[in-house]
Structure 1
Amino acid sequence: MDPRHKKILQYNRINIVKVLDPSKISGELLKRGIFSQDMMDEITKSGTRRDQARQLIRDLETRGAKAFPAFLECLSGCGYRDLADLLQKENQTSPHHPGRLPPVDLPIYNPIDIRRPDRVPGPQPKEVPLHPGESNVFPAPSPGERETDCRTRRTRRDSLQTYKMDASPCGLCLIINNVEFRQLSDRSGSDIDCDKLERRFRSLNFIVTVRRNLKQKQIKMELSSLAKKDHSGYDCCVVVLLSHGAEVSHNRFPGAVYGVDALPVPVQLITNYLNGQNCPSLQSKPKLFFIQACGGDEKDTGFEVSPDEVEPRPGGADDQMDAIPTSSSSDSLSTSDEPDARTSLPTPSDILVSYSTFPGYVSWRDTQAGSWYVENLDRILEENAATDDLVTMLMMVNDVVSQNSAKGLYKQMPGSFNFLRKHLYFQAPPGSRSPA
């Protein structure tokens, strides 16, 4: 949808919600192919008339360039001529530049010191003593090793600086790999991503479960089942989502991933399943989410820098996007959430969501080699898990992926929403320790 039309809908949301009964225009929306029957059913299930109207407007914003004029026609033909005239008048007079997205108020976060405890100047906290009979995962270095191997020495027991990550197994890892879609393009190359991350997290001492080609309801069922498990004997939980994705309205974590039935599951709902309220046995433990999916349909052409600034890396010849096109009525679908999921849950803590791309932009995937993001995430975990914390490694991923170019033109910038309270070091595979 044209950003100008999105802005008009957003600015007039209160007026629309106040008077609109979606049931009165659903037949016309279906007739024009703006929504499918499944989508209208999801809107009907979203709650009261006002809730349904809000959901309809949110979904309408994802329905492509023809959705706004078709919506005005539906309003005019179904007894809402005054509302249609109001929106049409703003469409004709809106000063908003069509090439710019409407401004968004983003939360402001204070910077977090990502330095490891052994690099922080000044006096260091004493190591937590072990109970009789216990031992560190890594034996204490000899005096001659202290100067050369300081990066591999880290306290495994829970402390003010570092999460406890010495349970064996360390935790559960769920990988959802959606490849074959009904209404959307298949995601060739995703099985390569899945195999890499399955091997990687097994090597980091996680119990890995892989689920392939799940519908929206099945994704929710898997997450609900994961939340109901007893994690008291584990130190961490990981969820990996490989699918198509899109930009949706949110108040916490942006984006949504799609089931193979082309129905979305918002990322903020995905994280809610494992937060401290819904999964008590994971309270105060890190919950990690890795998402290979588009955050929207905008392509980033980047900006020019000195050749000395970065080393450009061309993408593969078979690069594809994990975006949901918004120009077809059969693609981008409803973003409905479960009742009260956005309002009844506390602010997340101990959660990190790593996105393959910046919200609103496409994410690139090579059909022969897998996605840029997963390829580099896997490699950097292999090379650096023994010495670096997770946040540092994700910055390495950001740096490498940002230097790739799809078709010699388009760029990609991964990022994360980090609500971890401590440094997180994975259990390094045997034999991977090396001097700093």
Structure 2
Amino acid sequence: MAAKELMRSNKTSIQETLCADYMLILNKAVQNNLITSREYNNLKGINRLNEEGHVVEFVDKVMNKGEETCQAFLTLLQTDDEIQQTYPQLKNMLKKETCLLPYSVQACSDENTDDQKQMRQEEYELNSQPTGLCLIINNVNFLYSKGRTGSDKDVESLAEVFSWLRFRVLMCKDQTKDQMKRVLECFASQCDPSLLKEFNVKEWTHSRFIDLQEAPKHGDAFICCVLSHGNKGVVFGIDDEPLAIKEITKTFMASHQSPLTDKPKVFLIQACQGVAPHPGVLLKDLQGDNPHPIFIPQESDVLVNIATVEDCEAFRNIKTGSWFIQSVCKQLKEGCPRNEEIEVILRRVNNEVAQKEGSSVPGARKQMPEIRHTLRKRLVLTPHRN
């Protein structure tokens, strides 16, 4: 049974149970990013309601957020020790056959344990410390084109969120097309670190970028963020020469020599893909012991998320950064603590950016990010635990 349907069928019982301490469940919900701080304050501040009324409003709010939030809420009810102690009736309410957790807990049946084990086998293993490298190419000052004011804000947001997700964050700024190509080749092959001096690579440490401290070493995943001007299928170096996005990703193709073969590689591209405005439309009602060798395709294990579809512009605020990158960072902060896979999080980015307006005329200038991938497993990024 789907999580939302399970909540609907048990709604009255859940509400009656949570009335025992409605502030506890509100606090847990905001701590686990099921509701925003603003929603928390609004729910807490409804003076006309009694405890039951507050809980009813809260449960309705969770259900209205959709299937993923409902699943995260039920997961919280079944895994949080303080909740289990405060609301012991929940154990009987959430039957074994309706266990929705992605990982094994005592409330799940033995039959489901096998399914959960298979899910873990279908997930990329991210055990290295750090998880991997996050490389940011930040082109701001161009030789012939207008500069990209506000891009440094995007870089700061990316550095904060990916260091929180246990990546080592490196950045090189204002690269020509040939420099971009060579620095990517260098990281793809994990070349001699002395060759990186040309690109003035900086490292994010204690909330700021400093000179590179030690040779970069790949872990179990790789993130590449390219922030620049662009056109259909390309990004530009600061010399206004184009580098094809496909060429960027192909640099990291699987091979016998590559340190990233069989590991997930995520590319986040903040660049226009043309100059055309994107109009809106008004809606109406709407490995192991196998004796046989295993081969994987060269272009497997790659995810590319581009700020906009081909031919269209992408928006960037000179003070707060770009719509796309800021949404990526926000949704990673909210989804990763809930063990959501990257595709789910980035779909939420697509939806958030699609709702924004780039003009005072509603629907005149929109932006629609695009995701494409060849991932073979679930990719779940996890933050540092305090």
* TM-score, scaled relative to structure 1: 0.53
Residue in 2 aligned with 1:413?
368
Residue in 1 aligned with 2:180?
219
Instruction: Identify the match of residue 236 of structure 1 among 184, 205, 221.
Output: 221
Q: Quick check: 2:130–2:166 contact (8 Å CA) kept in 1?
A: yes
Q: Quick check: 1:356–1:373 contact (8 Å CA) kept in 2?
A: yes
Change (3 A) 1:187 1:278: farther
Residue in 1 aligned with 2:351?
399
Pair 1:178 & 2:139 matched: yes
Pair 1:367 & 2:328 matched: no
Residue in 2 aligned with 1:163?
124
Structure 2 portions without partners, runs of 5+: 1-66, 72-78, 105-115, 192-215, 287-296
Structure 1 portions without partners, runs of 5+: 1-114, 120-139, 248-254, 310-345, 432-436
Residue in 1 aligned with 2:262?
284
How far the C-alpha of 1:289 sits from its partner, in A, is: 0.3
Mapping of residues 182-197 of structure 1, within 5 Å: 182-197=143-158
**Distance in 1 of aligned mates of 2:303 and 2:117:** 20
- Please, which moves more after superposition, 222-231 or 210-219? 222-231
**Distance in 2 of aligned mates of 1:265 and 1:162:** 32
Q: Find the residue that maps to 1:280 and give its secondary structure.
A: coil
Q: Find the residue that maps to 2:259 and give its secondary structure.
A: helix
Aligned residues: 252
Q: Find the residue that maps to 2:337 and give its secondary structure.
A: coil
Q: Quick check: 2:254–2:298 contact (8 Å CA) kept in 1?
A: no
How far the C-alpha of 1:280 sits from its partner, in A, is: 2.1
Q: Quick check: 2:189–2:258 contact (8 Å CA) kept in 1?
A: no
**Distance in 2 of aligned mates of 1:269 and 1:278:** 19
Change (3 A) 1:287 1:221: same
Change (3 A) 1:233 1:193: closer
Change (3 A) 1:232 1:186: closer
How far the C-alpha of 1:367 sits from its partner, in A, is: 1.1
Change (3 A) 1:171 1:184: same
Instruction: Identify the match of residue 245 of structure 1 among 230, 238, 244.
Output: 230
Q: Quick check: 1:156–1:162 contact (8 Å CA) kept in 2?
A: no
Q: Find the residue that maps to 1:405 and give its secondary structure.
A: coil
**Distance in 2 of aligned mates of 1:219 and 1:201:** 21
Change (3 A) 1:184 1:267: same
**Distance in 2 of aligned mates of 1:261 and 1:278:** 34
Mapping of residues 29-428 of structure 1, within 5 Å: 153=103, 159-229=120-190, 234-247=219-232, 255-277=233-255, 280-306=258-284, 347-387=298-338, 388-408=340-360, 409-428=364-383
Q: Quick check: 1:158–1:164 contact (8 Å CA) kept in 2?
A: no
**Distance in 2 of aligned mates of 1:278 and 1:188:** 41
Residue in 2 aligned with 1:15?
none
How far the C-alpha of 1:206 sits from its partner, in A, is: 0.5
Q: Find the residue that maps to 1:410 and give its secondary structure.
A: coil
How much identity, in percent, do the aligned residues show?
A: 30
Change (3 A) 1:170 1:157: farther
Amino acid at match of 1:376: S
**Distance in 2 of aligned mates of 1:151 and 1:232:** 34
**Distance in 1 of aligned mates of 2:247 and 2:129:** 29
How far the C-alpha of 1:156 sits from its partner, in A, is: 10
Amino acid at match of 2:308: T
Change (3 A) 1:221 1:392: same
* TM-score, scaled relative to structure 2: 0.59
Q: Quick check: 1:244–1:258 contact (8 Å CA) kept in 2?
A: yes
Q: Quick check: 1:156–1:165 contact (8 Å CA) kept in 2?
A: no
Greater relative contact order (Cα 8 A, min sep 6): structure 1 or 2?
1
How far the C-alpha of 1:144 sits from its partner, in A, is: 5.1
Q: Find the residue that maps to 2:266 and give its secondary structure.
A: strand
Q: Quick check: 1:364–1:412 contact (8 Å CA) kept in 2?
A: yes
Q: Find the residue that maps to 2:267 and give its secondary structure.
A: strand
**Distance in 2 of aligned mates of 1:242 and 1:290:** 8
**Distance in 2 of aligned mates of 1:257 and 1:190:** 15
Q: Find the residue that maps to 1:386 and give its secondary structure.
A: helix
**Distance in 2 of aligned mates of 1:279 and 1:243:** 30
Q: Find the residue that maps to 1:275 and give its secondary structure.
A: coil
Whose helix fraction is larger, Structure 1's or Structure 2's? 2
Change (3 A) 1:181 1:423: same
